[in-house]
Amino acid sequence: MMLELALHYGEGPVRIADIAQRQDISVKYLEQIIIPLKEAKLIKSVRGPKGGHMLAKPPGKINVSVIVKVLEGGIDMAECVGNPGICERSGDCAARSVWKAATKALDDKLKSITLSDMIKAS
């Protein structure tokens, strides 16, 4: 959905039904994911006959990390990475340090990719 909105950035609002058809994704699913994207101020909506949805910022200002965190609730590779208190061994756990490093590497990579980068790559 975000990539589709990026492809049409600056052209006005895009209808969910059009995105669903072009991407072969159900309208119901898109209606569910648009809520957190709007709450995160990544998407804005326009009501009315020529209404729809559009990016709230230019595609070059939205990185994939932000989108994944909004839609997935985070990117931690293990629950203890972001919440060390859930495990009594988290302070000296070798596995946690690996998951923490992997999470950071993933986040760094996702932060380095914007919607504009994805458009250029497609």
Spatial CA neighbour of 98 closest among 111, 81, 82, 112: 81
Mean per-residue pLDDT, 58-67: 98
Same domain, 82 and 121: yes
Same domain, 48 and 95: no
| The token pair that represents 86 in the structure block | 């859930």
Percent of the chain with pLDDT over 70: 100
Same domain, 39 and 68: no
Same domain, 70 and 17: no
Q: Model pTM?
A: 0.89
The number of folded domains in the chain is 2
Q: Which distant-in-sequence residues (6+ apart) come within 8 Å of 44 by Cβ?
A: 38, 53, 54, 55, 56
Same domain, 47 and 74: no
| The token pair that represents 42 in the structure block | 């990544």
Same domain, 36 and 85: no
* Domain span holding position 40: 1-56
